[in-house]
Amino acid sequence: MASAIGRASLKTWLISRHVDSAAKSLTSYIIHDTQFRKSSSGSYSDEGKSTSSWTLGRLTVAGGVAAGFGLLYGWSREHEGVQAATVEEGVFVKGLPNYSLDEVSKHSTESSAWMTYKRGVYDVTEFIKHHPGGKTIMLGVGGAADPFWHLYAVHKEPHVLKLLSQYRIGNLEEDDVEHQTKNMDDPYANEPKRHPALKPTSQKPFNAEPPAALLVANFHTPNELFYVRNHLPVPEVDEKDYSLTLEGEGVKTLTLTLDELKKKFPKYKLSAAIQCAGNRRSELSKFEGLDLDATGSPYGASVPAERALDPKSEVLLAYEMNGEPLSRDHGFPVRVIIPGVVGARSVKWLSNIILSKEESTSHWQQNDYKGFCPSVDWDTVDFKSAPAIQELPVMSLICEPGNGWRVKAKDGKIAVKGYAWSGGGRKIVRVDVTGDQGKTWHVAKLQQEDKKHGRHWAWTLWTVEIPVDPKGKQTEIWAKAVDSSYNTQPESSAHIWNLRGVLSNAYHKVIVNLIQ
């Protein structure tokens, strides 16, 4: 397998996908597929980033190859001024016509697309035309949204229901409601236990982050406090039944058990920070997001194989994390770690690696994790015009003190701690911090691994003391990082806003209250 992949074109990519794509491309790719329809790596939080020491097995002499997992398709849309509905959505509405399931099922085409939610019947024809995943939604029209939303509980938010209410056309016959929703057992009944210090941003699916102050307590984040980003219920995989299949064009198919992965390939360790493209997304205040999976299709993500085949990239398969077996939340039994790349590519629950001449056509590769001009909106966006995000820009975060903390100065100064990181293995060379809105800056002391140029995969922790006005009641702290290419952070989010809410790397700012 090593020699076959080694002969692959340098135009190859690493991809996750579930079904074969009919699309052709001038570029070749390596596809990694999965049998599980579950969670992604990465966080949609403000602080969801962690560094761990990973134990991995190399699958090629030239370098590692990446892995994939099963997930869902997603969508995001800007909703300004949307308020919670005053009436519960999906209840019977007097005065609207009644429709049977048989009647709803007749409307399952692009020219007439109906679906139901509880007692409500909705004509989503126009909605699908403007939805980036409209073709995927079409597979669910003519029936009920309830089973899907039972699985993806994030949809049961007021702004989502308010959006749905705009397409209400009638009521579902009462006798048909039970038929639509029967046998909907809770798919989240067997979720793993989590540390109580994690701050959930959603329960079903479970997404959570550690308090920011805990992030800088250790260079390697303890496994129990590593942020969790899931889109679906966490799979239960028996390691005795686990196998990894490697296949593709011009490559002899190879299947390996977990035991073979551990014994046939050298063990390799590295430290790497994992971060989602949507980190600090809440600072882009115009953004609202939804994640959907109308088909059960797994997540799709592509990474250039030239990166995987380069030994300097250290792209590897992981079965241990900080010296312990991977937990279910973090991809047990095998996940990929693609250091220096957006966390969405470090996917979990690997089952297949495939060499192909096609990039993944999944929603997540084609219509998500892409950046756009601030003036592009959902009426003008062309997802084909932008490449998928790979390396993330330089960024930093203030972890101590937190926003709104009460802090007492010592000798006229307060201590500030945080982290910084840049994609592509670029080293953090400086972190500047100010307490007077940029009039004076103070250079932080850095804690980082001593690595070769271009291999700084882990984050950098930093500390600094800054002077404050002894008579002041508040101070606003700003932080900005500079990497080895002298990239630095923009001052404001105003000019980097984008409709997907990704790549938010403006100065991090917190306001603290001073105790006299």
Catalytic site positions? 131, 155, 229, 276, 369
Tokens found for residue 53: 């020491």
Q: Which amino acid is at 165?
A: S
Tokens found for residue 125: 């024809």
DSSP tag of 156: -
Nearest to 338 by CA among 392, 280, 281, 375: 392
354 phi and psi angles, rounded to 5 deg? -130, 130
Nearest to 31 by CA among 390, 332, 304, 392: 304
Q: CB–CB of 172/101 below 8 Å?
A: yes
Tokens found for residue 478: 């700003």
* Sequence-separated (6 or more) residues with CB below 8 Å from residue 110: 125, 128, 138
Nearest to 503 by CA among 427, 389, 400: 389
Nearest to 160 by CA among 288, 278, 69: 288
DSSP tag of 426: P
Q: Which residues face 316 on adjacent strands? A: 337
User: What is the Cα–Cα distance from 377 to 75, expressed in whole angstroms?
Assistant: 13
DSSP tag of 479: E
105 phi and psi angles, rounded to 5 deg? -65, -20
